[in-house]
C-alpha cells in the first residue's frame, strides 16, 4: 500500500533536514577548531609538528569520507570494542574529515600572507603569537572566506553519505519517502531543492562578507 507525497511527507523531509544542518554545523565547528590547530602546526617552524599535521592531512584527503565513516562506525567496534551509535559515529568522522580540509585551506591562507607582513610585525617587535593574532590571522581570514564557504557547502552535501550507516538526514529521509510513495521524481527534486536552499545563501553570504571587508579596508575589487 503506497501513499502520495504530501504535506506530512514534506514535513518529514524538513525534520530530517534539521539533522543535516546539525551534523554540518557540529562537523564545521569541531573541524574548525581542529583545523586551526592543524593549520598552525603545518605553518610552524617545528619539524615534527609539521610532519604530523601533513601526514594527517594526507591520510584524510587520500581516503574517501565513506571509508572514514565506516571506520568510525565499525572500526572502533572491532578495534576497541566501542560500538558507537550512528550519530556520534558520523559526528566523529565528519569532524575529523573537516579538520583536515579546513586545516589545509587555512594553511594556504596563512602562507598567502606576504613574508614582509611577518617581518613588519616582528620588527615592531610583536611576539610570534601576537604576530599571528594581530597581523597574520585577520588577513588570512579574508583570503580563507571563499574556500571555507566552498568547503562548508561541500560538507553539507557530503553529509548525505551518513545515510549509509542508517543515520536519518535529508538524503536518507528522501530514500525512506521514495520507499513509501514510489514517487522518486517528486521526492528527489524536493530533496535537491532543500539542499539548494541550504547551500545557495551561503555562497551569497560569503560574497557579501568579502565585499563588506574590502569596502571597510578601502580595497578596490577587480570588476
HSE on the CB side for 21, CA within 13 Å? 12
User: How many CB atoms are closer than 10 A to CB 223?
Assistant: 3
Which residues within the stretch 133-172 sit at the binding site for another protein (CB under 8 A)?
134-135, 138-139, 142
Quote the DSSP letter at residue 164. G
Q: Does 4 bind another protein (CB under 8 A)?
A: no
Stretches 18-26, 76-84, 128-136, 147-155: which one binds another protein (CB under 8 A)?
128-136
Query: CA torsion, points 101, 103, 109, 112, in degrees to nearest 10?
Result: -110
CB of 217 to another protein, least distance (A): 5
Applying CB under 8 A, among 63, 127, 179, 208 the residue interacting with another protein is 127
Minimum CB distance to another protein, residue 135 (Å): 6
217 is a site residue for another protein (CB under 8 A): yes
CB 128 within 8 A of CB 137: no
Among 1, 8, 80, 123, binds another protein (CB under 8 A): 123
For the bound state, the minimum distance from the C-beta of residue 17 to another protein, rounded and expressed in Å, comes to 37
CA distance 6 to 219: 50
Of the two residues 43 and 159, which places its CB atom closer to another protein in the complex? 43
Judged by CB under 8 A, the chain residues 97 through 116 that form the site for another protein are: 116
* Residue owning grid cell 574556500: 147
Measured CA to CA in angstroms, residue 157 lies from 145, 154, 171, 193 at distances of 18, 5, 9, 12
List residues binding another protein (CB under 8 A): 116-117, 119-127, 130, 134-135, 138-139, 142, 216-220
Amino acid at each position: 500500500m503506497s501513499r502520495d507525497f504530501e504535506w506530512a511527507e514534506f514535513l518529514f523531509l524538513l525534520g530530517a533536514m534539521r539533522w543535516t544542518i546539525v551534523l554540518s554545523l557540529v562537523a564545521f565547528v569541531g573541524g574548525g577548531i581542529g583545523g586551526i590547530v592543524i593549520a598552525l602546526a603545518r605553518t610552524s617552524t617545528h619539524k615534527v609538528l609539521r610532519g604530523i599535521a601533513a601526514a594527517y592531512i594526507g591520510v584524510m584527503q587520500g581516503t574517501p569520507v565513506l571509508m572514514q565513516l565506516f571506520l568510525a562506525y565499525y572500526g572502533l567496534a572491532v578495534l576497541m570494542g566501542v560500538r558507537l551509535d550512528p550519530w556520534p559515529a558520523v559526528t566523529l568522522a565528519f569532524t575529523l574529515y573537516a579538520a583536515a580540509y579546513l586545516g589545509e585551506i587555512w594553511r594556504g591562507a596563512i602562507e598567502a600572507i606576504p613574508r614582509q607582513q611577518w617581518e613588519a610585525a616582528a620588527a615592531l617587535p610583536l611576539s610570534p603569537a601576537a604576530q599571528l593574532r594581530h597581523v597574520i590571522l585577520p588577513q588570512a581570514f579574508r583570503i580563507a572566506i571563499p574556500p571555507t564557504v566552498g568547503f562548508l557547502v561541500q560538507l553539507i552535501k557530503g553529509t548525505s553519505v551518513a545515510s549509509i550507516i542508517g543515520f536519518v538526514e535529508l538524503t536518507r529521509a528522501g530514500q525512506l519517502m521514495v520507499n513509501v510513495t514510489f514517487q522518486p521524481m517528486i521526492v528527489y527534486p524536493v530533496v535537491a531543492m532543500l539542499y539548494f536552499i541550504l547551500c545557495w545563501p551561503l555562497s551569497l553570504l560569503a560574497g557579501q562578507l568579502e565585499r563588506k571587508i574590502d569596502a571597510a579596508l578601502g580595497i578596490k575589487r577587480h570588476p
